[in-house]
């Protein structure tokens, strides 16, 4: 049996993969031409598969994608081919869930406002005007404007769109903060079916998108979806940018249909200069870094070595995907 890697990986990673794949022959293709030659009799492939490489492959049984997302990886011939495709899902789940809760806390505790005020050297609790110190003189048992302007997360509902590995980690963290959690997912029996998305939107104070980009989720969040959200709700998107119509989101934020948005992914990246979202005080933008962590490289290598070992032994592979559904 034979495994072809392309683009080539560094020496240390190659040795780890080759050791795991024994007794398979492992080829670290240096360029496109070598990959095209070597894939002719290869049983397995790790890297960026192209239509040209697939046409040249006569024995290909398994392909390991180097990414978790597949919208830029799959193509019609690959979908139709009987080979098994696996991806890198699960590498980022805890890291991304941490990022989600960072954004949630930002809005719950008004950090997005206080950071901007700090740059202006302005000391002004949200909910209090002119004389912030008077707020503390309100009698015991009386709810102050400052108190009302800061959320107690135990009173909030987290709606999760996509209860896969990432969504499940988000749910765990939200529940640890005392939040009520609800979710929709097309396959997870622990969640509501996707047809219940309007009900989730109507019930949620925070809506977190953890879904992959698929033909069914593209622009799932459009003007109609935002109209179904609570006016006090915050949208968090750490899924894929194509799921949210950004102009419709900006319209909803300006109209007060949605209270805020924490965005790590966008339809076009980077977010174009001059887009309305850049200047909105109720929007927090991070540059597609929710999955960044010093642990990712080792986890990435662990998936490919584990699957190489499994394939060489004839064992079941992990992270098998539905090519037609892109996840």
As annotated, the active-site residues are 240, 269, 288
In which element (H, E) is residue 153 found? none
What HEC string does 175-223 produce? Answer: HHCCCEEEEECCCCCCCECHHHHHHHHHHCCEEEECCCCCCCCCCCECH
Rounded Cα gap, residues 229 and 120, in angstroms = 33
44-47 vs 84-86, strand pairing mode = unpaired
Q: How many CA atoms lie within 13 A of 165 on its CB side?
A: 14
Q: Which helix (H) or strand (E) holds 157?
A: strand 157-161
User: Cis peptide before 7, with omega less than 30 degrees from 0?
Assistant: yes
The strands making up 180-184's β-sheet, listed across from edge to edge, are 180-184, 157-161, 206-209, 234-237, 260-263, 283-285
């Amino acid at each position: 049996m034979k495994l072809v890697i392309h683009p080539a990986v560094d020496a240390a990673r190659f040795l780890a993969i080759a050791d795991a794949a024994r007794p398979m022959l492992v080829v670290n293709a240096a360029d496109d031409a070598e990959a095209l030659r070597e894939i002719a009799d290869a049983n397995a492939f790790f890297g960026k598969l192209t239509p040209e490489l697939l046409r040249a492959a006569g024995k290909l049984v398994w392909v390991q994608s180097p990414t978790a997302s597949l919208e830029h990886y799959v193509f019609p011939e690959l979908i139709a081919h009987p080979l098994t495709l696996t991806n890198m899902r699960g590498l980022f789940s805890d890291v991304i869930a941490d990022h989600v809760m960072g954004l949630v806390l930002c809005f719950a505790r008004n950090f997005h406002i206080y950071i901007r005020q700090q740059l202006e050297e302005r000391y002004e609790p949200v909910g209090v005007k002119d004389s912030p110190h008077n707020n503390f003189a309100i009698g015991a048992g009386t709810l102050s404007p400052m108190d009302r302007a800061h959320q107690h997360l135990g009173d909030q509902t987290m709606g999760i769109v996509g209860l896969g590995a990432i969504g499940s980690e988000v749910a765990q963290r939200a529940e640890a903060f005392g939040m009520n959690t609800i979710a929709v997912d097309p396959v997870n029996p622990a969640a509501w079916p996707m047809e219940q998305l309007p009900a989730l939107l109507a019930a949620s104070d925070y809506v977190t998108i953890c879904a992959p980009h698929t033909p069914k989720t593209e622009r799932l969040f459009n003007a109609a979806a935002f109209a179904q959200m609570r006016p006090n709700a915050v949208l968090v998107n750490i899924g894929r940018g194509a799921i949210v119509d950004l102009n419709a989101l900006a319209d909803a934020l300006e109209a007060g249909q949605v209270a805020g948005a924490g965005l790590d992914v966008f339809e076009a990246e980077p977010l174009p200069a001059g887009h309305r979202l850049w200047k909105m005080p109720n929007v927090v933008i991070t540059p597609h870094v929710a999955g960044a962590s010093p642990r990712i490289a080792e986890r990435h290598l662990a998936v490919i070595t584990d699957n190489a070992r499994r394939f060489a032994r004839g064992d079941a592979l992990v992270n098998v995907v539905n090519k037609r559904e892109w996840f």
